[in-house]
Chains A and B, each alone.
Chain A
Amino acid sequence: MRCLLAIVFLPFAVAAATPNYDQHIKPLLRQHCLKCHGGDEQKSGLNMQNYAAAMKGGSGGRIVVPGRSSQSLLFEIITDPDDDSRMPPNKPMIPQKDIALIQQWIDGGLLENAGDKSMLAKRDTRFHPSANAGVKPANPAMPGKLPPIRTPKVMRPLPVMSMDTSPWAALLAVAGQEHIRLLNTDTENVVGHLPFPEGVPNVIRFSRDGSVLMVAGGRPVESGKVVLFDVKTGKRLAEVGDELDAIIAADLSADHKLVALGGSGKVVKVYSTTDGRQLYKIEKHTDWITSIAFSPDGATLATADRTGGLHLWGAKQGGIRLSLLEHKAAIRALDWRSDGKLLASVGEDGRIIWWDAKDGWPTINKSNAHSPQRKPGIYGKLRNGVLATRFDQRGRLTTVGRDRVVRMWDEKGRQLTASRNEALPLTVAIVHTGAKAVIGDQAGTVRFWRLTK
């Protein structure tokens, strides 16, 4: 009876329908696998004839990870598209309904029998605004009268490659060719410009308290730099990095003391803003660094790359904390929820993942979140990448993708609202009041989208 209660309270939908080994899985294994991986013969040291032995795995280690079919060898090998690698050998693929059952069994926590407890830990990832790491400053920074600057002549607007809203003020910073445009999000008018002669701003981020604007970018395969601006005066506070290529990813820590940057060099470099010294390097990534984000409390650094690699590091020293394996293609953006409990990652594999930052668990893994409509005569995989993501101050997540749609999700991963953009949206932000979303797109347009309750 107690067992039953425990199941009822699990945050996952582990209802009576969740498959278990004895009733659902063993008959499938008997049919497809046990001849070679059972009591009589244990190819590769694997015996799946009983639950305990199946959990132990084969000579290559565990074959199932509770809750993670995507990380389970068993699931991978029965769904391998390559006829020569797939199990069972020399046979057609196991029927889809059986594969689905095995997937549900793994994702449901590897129940042994109907009375068993899921191996999945109970977790509470609800959002409490009071837990926000940042505290609203007494006088949120707004720019004064900034000196006029000369912006270069352009043939057409630069795509809005980056953009950010102040967390506490009605302020928006938008990337332009060799400059940043500042807008008042209430009036939606331009209030000033900041020069960025270094080139194209690929990353724009306000500091957690809204007083500093970090701009990173440069000229492709020539130079890259991170510049910190004082929001009120527009003065340059610091310049960090002297890269050989435009910086693609960067972030500023909440205490303004650290800047992390990366790009085509595949290395993440972390600098001190006080003396410009490089503190440490992260060389684990095997491809271009595409996104970097400090946690709101400044203790953790998340870094992502173009092959889907995502790692969490101790922000002070650069020691590895967790590797978050799930993305199968380039990660395009990372963002921390303001309470620091969840990290969101989005990428070209079409996934949005809400990670529990405590243990790196993908609490919600949403695939095909931005799938474009299939036109007749079009086959194969559609490009469904998710290009940008931001949490707002209420814990809601906004994403934009290659389907040209902006979507907003609640903390359970349910879509709250959506809006179609004409050009390909590249970046998104929510104004500090939470009343509007701002979308920057490939045509160089900045669009304010009024969110309804």
Chain B
Amino acid sequence: MLASEADSVSFRRDVMPILFRAGCNAGTCHGSARGMDGFMLSLFGYDAKGDYFRIVNEMVGRRVNVAVPEQSLLLRKAIGAVPHTGGELFKPDSEYYQTLHRWIAAGAPDDADDVPDTVGIELSTERFVFERGGERSAVKVTAVYDDRSRRDVTTLARFHSNNPSVADIDEHGRVTAKSAGDTHVFARFSRFTAGVETIVLPPAEGFRWPDPAKNNYIDELVFDRLRKLRIAPSELCDDETFLRRVTLDLVAHPPTVEEYRAFMASTDPKKRADKIDQLLKDDAFADYWTTLWSEQLRIIGGNYAPYGTHVKAASAFHEWIRRQIRSGRPLNEMVDDMVVSSGSNLQNGPANLYTMLVHARRLNPKTFAADFSQVFLGIQIQCAECHNHPFDRWTMDDYYGFVSFFSGMKRKPGVETREQRIYYDTKASPALHLVDKRPMPAKVLGAVEPAKHNGDPRRALAAWLTSPDNEHFSRNLANRIWAQLFGRGVIHPVDDIRVSNPPSNAPLMNALARRLVESGFDLRSLVRDICNSRVYQLSSQPNASNKLDTRQFSRSYLRRLRADVLMDSFVAVTGMQRGFKDWPKNTKAIDFYPRTGGDTARAGCGDVFMETFGRSPRKSVSSTDTKLEPTLSQTLHLMVGNTLEPRLSANGRLNRIIKESATPEAALEELFILSLTRKPTAAETVGLRQLIGDAVNDEHVYRDIFWSLLNSTEFSFNH
């Protein structure tokens, strides 16, 4: 029995779920913004009142015929009795048809106001573990209503799998294992999505758990997961690889030859941990993280900046962030400062959150709220501007309530032309709900009651946002930190966190977030934990069982260096500085951000190298603005462009290496350590020695070798 009671069929409780299940209100059908073939429904049913109107009252007698229900177009279309773009959706003898028919026969009534509202869905299981492909199981979906009633809605839910090649789910909720791997299958009902972790195991035969040593909780959680999935992690990486990896990751340039020799010579069993501590104290670590924040917050600067993005403002903001990171300021306090700040954008660095995050002449609260949420929570709420989020819990009420935190954010020109004063206009009216134009007072995501405040609600927003209890916030920060060190978030992509994009290892995600909170939101503590884990120090060499793994961190994934880190690496290795237009000499690439002598409306990254290698142009807050894909133009740029060639023998460094090395073999070793942080292999030495032949002092040959080393993928990747 689909209907709640035998006699009365409710529009919201019984009819709308059928429209959802049959796909009538999907985005490709009548749920599209302009409807389909002259008939529109709200997408996934966010506007029940409007849908009732359109079905029953817009063209009375056409879509429902209360005199002869089976003559209703709604039914005739659904069973394919008349031409229908969507074809036949169900049969006349189905429950769906019977329910709709009974509703129309009852006069197609609208609901009285007190229809129980769905407050959540529950699934019959939390996890499927299949031993082999072809195995089957099924999930049942139960809806829970605000009157505490429950109902089996398996026949009304919609299902999907995040990876149908691992496990597929059909429209009845039946799951079929396909091939080894892990994914989630989902059920959606009303505005809720819930997932079931689904594991399909590889054959147990031939698998032996290597039981690697565990350095800390990260290893325990990752290895626990790998063991369940029958994936053996790679071996520990060697010292050379570790040194290069951790140096590039923490201070954004490769280790020097001296650092290499000192590290390799040390026999201290704690030398890796010491190295990590040493790098964490380096100013370059803070500078690198300053740039990562600055990139997310879209800092740009110009000499002409009608909406507050002046060079001086950019610099005030960037330097303020640098001071916070260098001094080890807790990240939540840093964010709190930004969120509540007001005043001059030239004097008060953090106030530039309200000039930089959205580059526009008007501070549009909707755009700002969406970007704010994406940056600080990793959640994309903008779907809910026009309809409840289809794959997450966020409703339009959440969205408009959140937007209202910024509806009073204003800027006005300051005393000088480049200055903008940021203030909160306490008289501004809150955002209006799209469907019924209700004013929506400021309300934090997921809350029922509006935030309490005295005019400027940002204090309440900041308190909620940066609270240790706000797991959205701590999880987002922890996940971004993890992603920076692994090239992939535990939730990936990092700025699209939603119910239907769950962590690849939920206990790990929780532990990282908890650790960040317990450390007092200390960036260095979490980075230290991660770098000291065996997981971080695994080799990138795959084994038979983990070669297909891309999300469980069973080996080190190859990562191309970011554009700025690559540039600084060239500079570090060749000893030849690189200038940036509109910047002081000797500016490091990681300290560089888009600046222009002109109008910021036209600022890009302003640098051919940065563009070619995908430095984020800061055109949006999306994490995908930083491009790490190798391209042909990158290869060509290094082979024939002006970055590498003029640097190879500049400053006499190459010449000095040749001169100061006792033998050609020693010079080769020096070049290898300088470029790749490792000694050449025996085969490499033999081959290259032959290439040098008698020209042992000929710079040209060494130059070619140096060129080849810097052009190698081994150089441009962290591995």
Q: Choose, from A18-26, A100-108, A151-159, the stretch at the interface.
A: A151-159
Partner of A219, one of B71, B107, B361, B362: B71
Are B67 and A156 within 8 A (Cβ)?
yes
Q: Choose, from B75-83, B455-463, B612-620, B707-715, the stretch at the interface.
A: B75-83
User: Which residues of the other chain, A, contact B76 by a CB distance below 8 angstroms?
Assistant: 220-222
Partner of B67, one of A177, A202, A287, A426: A177
- Per the 8 Å Cβ criterion, residues 355-375 of B in contact with A are 361-362, 364
- Per the 8 Å Cβ criterion, residues 192-213 of A in contact with B are 199-200, 202
Are A246 and B60 within 8 A (Cβ)?
no
**Docked pose: A381 CA to B436 CA in angstroms:** 8
Given contacts A155-B105, A380-B437, A383-B53, 13 further A-B contacts (CB under 8 A): A83-B364, A90-B361, A155-B67, A157-B67, A177-B68, A200-B71, A219-B71, A220-B62, A220-B73, A306-B38, A380-B432, A380-B436, A442-B57
**Docked pose: A424 CA to B62 CA in angstroms:** 15
Q: Decide if A165 is an interface residue (CB 8 Å cutoff).
A: no
Interface 1/0 per residue, B80-112 and A, CB below 8 Å? 001110000000000000000000010100000
Q: Decide if B323 is an interface residue (CB 8 Å cutoff).
A: no
**Docked pose: A426 CA to B66 CA in angstroms:** 15
- What are 13 A-B contacts defined by CB distance under 8 Å? A90-B362, A154-B68, A155-B67, A155-B69, A159-B60, A177-B68, A199-B71, A200-B61, A220-B62, A222-B76, A222-B82, A246-B62, A442-B60
**Docked pose: A442 CA to B53 CA in angstroms:** 13
Are A380 and B65 within 8 A (Cβ)?
no
Nearest CB in chain B: distance from A423 CB, A: 10
Nearest CB in chain A: distance from B130 CB, A: 45
Are B361 and A379 within 8 A (Cβ)?
no
Q: Decide if A264 is an interface residue (CB 8 Å cutoff).
A: yes
Nearest CB in chain B: distance from A26 CB, A: 28
Q: Decide if B228 is an interface residue (CB 8 Å cutoff).
A: no
Q: Decide if B281 is an interface residue (CB 8 Å cutoff).
A: no
Are A154 and B67 within 8 A (Cβ)?
yes
**Docked pose: A293 CA to B63 CA in angstroms:** 25
Which of the listed residues B38, B63, B71, B432 has the most CB atoms from chain A within 10 Å of its own CB? B71
Nearest CB in chain B: distance from A86 CB, A: 11
Please name the residue on chain B nearest to A201 by beta carbon. B61
The answer to whether residues A379 and B61 also contact, given A90-B361, A221-B76, A221-B82 and a CB cut-off of 8 A, is no
Q: Decide if A214 is an interface residue (CB 8 Å cutoff).
A: no
User: Which residues of the other chain, B, contact A287 by a CB distance below 8 angstroms?
Assistant: 38
**Docked pose: A152 CA to B67 CA in angstroms:** 9
Nearest CB in chain B: distance from A420 CB, A: 18
Are A378 and B436 within 8 A (Cβ)?
yes
Q: Decide if A294 is an interface residue (CB 8 Å cutoff).
A: no
Interface size on B, residues (CB 8 A): 31
Partner of B77, one of A152, A221, A383: A221
**Docked pose: A200 CA to B72 CA in angstroms:** 11
Interface 1/0 per residue, A268-302 and B, CB below 8 Å? 00000000000000000001100000000000000
User: Which residues of the other chain, B, contact A83 by a CB distance below 8 angstroms?
Assistant: 362, 364
Partner of B66, one of A158, A222, A264, A381: A158
Q: Decide if A14 is an interface residue (CB 8 Å cutoff).
A: no
Please name the residue on chain B nearest to A176 by beta carbon. B67
Sorted nearest first, the 5 A-B pairs with minimum C-beta distance are A380-B437, A158-B67, A154-B67, A221-B82, A220-B73
Q: Decide if A429 is an interface residue (CB 8 Å cutoff).
A: no
Nearest CB in chain A: distance from B88 CB, A: 14
Interface 1/0 per residue, B29-66 and A, CB below 8 Å? 00000000010000000000000010001001111011
Q: Decide if A161 is an interface residue (CB 8 Å cutoff).
A: yes
Partner of A379, one of B71, B82, B84, B432: B432
**Docked pose: A383 CA to B56 CA in angstroms:** 14
Are B61 and A161 within 8 A (Cβ)?
yes
User: Which residues of the other chain, B, contact A383 by a CB distance below 8 angstroms?
Assistant: 53
User: Which residues of the other chain, A, contact B65 by a CB distance below 8 angstroms?
Assistant: 158, 177, 200
User: Which residues of the other chain, B, contact A444 by a CB distance below 8 angstroms?
Assistant: 67
**Docked pose: A444 CA to B60 CA in angstroms:** 11
**Docked pose: A83 CA to B363 CA in angstroms:** 11
Are A155 and B82 within 8 A (Cβ)?
no
Q: Decide if B598 is an interface residue (CB 8 Å cutoff).
A: no
Interface 1/0 per residue, A147-176 and B, CB below 8 Å? 000001011111101000000000000000
